[in-house]
Amino acid sequence: MDKLVIEGGRPLKGSVTVSGSKNALLPILAATLLTPEKCVIKNAPLLSDTYTMLRILRHLGVSAEIDGSTIHVKSGKLKKFNAPYRFVSTMRASFCVLGPLLARLKKAEVSLPGGCVIGIRPVDLHLKGLKALGANIEIKEGYVCAQAKRLSGKQIFLGGSFGSSVLATANVMMAATLTPGTTIIENAACEPETVDLANFLNRMGAKIKGQGSPRIEIKGVKYLSGAKYEIIPDRIEAITFAIAAALSKGEVTIKNVRVEHLSAVIEKLVEAGVKVKKGKNFIFVKRTGSLRPVDITTLPYPGFPTDVQAQFMALMSVASGISVITEKIYPDRFMHISELNRMGAQIFRQGPYSIVHGVKNLKGAQVMASDLRASAALVLAGLIAKDKTEVFRIYHLDRGYENLDKKLTQLGARIYRGKQ
């Protein structure tokens, strides 16, 4: 098992190019199940999650090949309709095959999902939406077993305890594309990754409008064709590099970004005293003075993303004052606190709130990653910590960042892989 070893204290300088969005790619790969024709997906990040999704597709009978950052997929005649536990247990987004399989084959068996340990993430909204379309669903031995003689469009409210659900919106939207009638999703997710999926489906011949708003309308069609499509840049990776530059007192140009997707976090970086220059498809990040404390609250898009909460906490751990970080998406997503405290941070949790007392310096330590974004936060903390930091269980990191250690090395960081 690999670990990352980081020698902190070097400002990051130079430029880095952001990879395609993981959270956009995975549902789009699932959507290729809706057509027997060939689909070509460009700007695909080559991550462990990407390979897991391709293994699921191949299990179902799909032909899938990788050529650089381009994935060629042809679903043809599907041989199976089940997604086994050994795949779905490692990656929550793989649950997105449920909607496409149900729409195309009128039956599906998909294991209940796993993924990062960041708190309870039920699939009730997925099932609520698919049931509303006419599916009969049972939970048997840890599998969602769905079938339908006929699906029909409906108006569906997908609101949950913590707001909208990106993957539930994706699952219902994909199923609705081949469902007769008009389906309206109320309280739909507005995230850019949901918009990207809708745009891909429209490229295939779907009739979707309203993506990016809380109300999405889908008019069912009889057939979807193959399509060529380029994935949007990964906004979470872009912000991770921006925070890395700010933490290290560096000067970094981050290329291949959609600046409009980063507004909530850029605003908070500027509030913290970080200089951010916005260009057409890049941002330039620089910090020279001390960091000011900033309070944040995670919210569905366009609010502050939960996937950046851990990284921003690492930034606030060395700010000159006290910050309050409120997690309203996954209230238990704070497992990185104890590891940051091992490095000298002073962070105290009270329910969904974390109080961060900024310290002057962090110290290198052996730390354990609990999930994808916690991994990134610990790596960022290691960039500024005195002495050496060792981050274990970095397989979490490899699920969502393409060559993060290599990209940081190109910016001047001292970071390398070793064996535990």
CB 279 within 8 Å of CB 286 = no
As beta bridge partners, residue 258 has: none
> Of 39, 116, 145, 190, which residue is the catalytic one?
116
CB neighbours (10 Å) of residue 403? 14
Give the pair of three-digit tokens for residue 130.
């698919």
Instruction: Identify the burial level of 237 via C-beta atoms within 10 angstroms of its C-beta, where 0-12 means exposed, 13-18 middle and 19 or more buried.
Output: buried
Q: Which residues contact 197 (CB under 8 A, 6 or more apart)?
A: 24, 27, 28, 31, 170, 173, 174
- Strand ranges (DSSP E) for 179-335? 182-186, 207-209, 215-219, 228-230, 251-255, 275-278, 282-286, 296-298, 322-327
SS (H, E, C) 276-288: EEECCCEEEEECC
Separation of CA 198 from chain center: 17
- Euclidean distance between CA atoms 313 and 324, whole angstroms: 9
CA 144 to the chain's CA centroid: 23
Decide the pairing of beta strands 275-278 and 63-67.
unpaired
Percent helix, strand and coil across the chain, each to the nearest 5: 35, 30, 40
For the question of residue 116 being annotated catalytic, the response is yes
Which tokens hold the place of 309?
Answer: 């909460």
Is 167 exposed, middle or buried (CB count within 10 Å of its CB: 0-12, 13-18, 19+)?
Answer: buried
State both tokens at 256. Answer: 């291949």
What is the token pair recorded at 124? 């009730």
Catalytic positions, please?
Answer: 116
